[in-house]
Amino acid sequence: MNANDRGQSIVEVNLDEAEIKQRAEAIASWNNSYDVYIWLLAEMEMRLAQAFITRLDATGHHVKIDTSKIVDRPDEAEISQRAKALAALWLRLQDVHWFLAERQVIYDKVKGRK
């Protein structure tokens, strides 16, 4: 991949707090178990883990992603390992909903989905 191709694979995703909040509320309405939400978050994190160019943190309203590094179908063993690590953090369910929503919004925007 030459430099021009690489430059075209980098996108900036604007993060809208209202959009993430709406998605988090929709996710919460699924009424899944904590373990299922942790698995979904781990899976979404593994899709995006290598693609972040800028860090995803509470202070940013945008993030840069290298779309060529997104993994649409992460390895199940890697998801399981990440899910165990996340579960060990004892995140509040509300936070899991938010983090999952945030990553889903990023993934959907990068993939051209609404």
pLDDT digits (tens, 9 = 90+) for 83-94: 999 999 999 999
Mean pLDDT, the chain, whole residue set: 88
> Is 89 within 8 Å of 42 (Cβ atoms)?
no
In the predicted model, is pLDDT for residue 3 greater than 50? Answer: no
In the predicted model, is pLDDT for residue 8 greater than 80? Answer: no
The pLDDT tens digits of the residues spanning 20-65 come to: 999 999 999 999 999 999 999 999 999 999 998 888 766 668 889 9
The domain of 14 spans 3-110
> Is 41 within 8 Å of 103 (Cβ atoms)?
yes
Angle 34-48/93-110 helices, nearest 10 degrees?
A: 30
> Is 98 within 8 Å of 62 (Cβ atoms)?
no
* Cα(5)–Cα(29) distance, integer angstroms: 40
What pLDDT score was predicted for residue 58?
62
In the predicted model, is pLDDT for residue 66 greater than 70? Answer: yes
What pLDDT score was predicted for residue 90?
94
Q: How many domains does the chain have?
A: 1
Question: In a 10 Å sphere around its CB, with 0-12 CB exposed, 13-18 middle and 19+ buried, how is residue 35 labelled?
Answer: exposed
* Cα(93)–Cα(114) distance, integer angstroms: 25
Strand partners, 13: 63
The pLDDT tens digits of the residues spanning 45-56 come to: 999 999 988 887
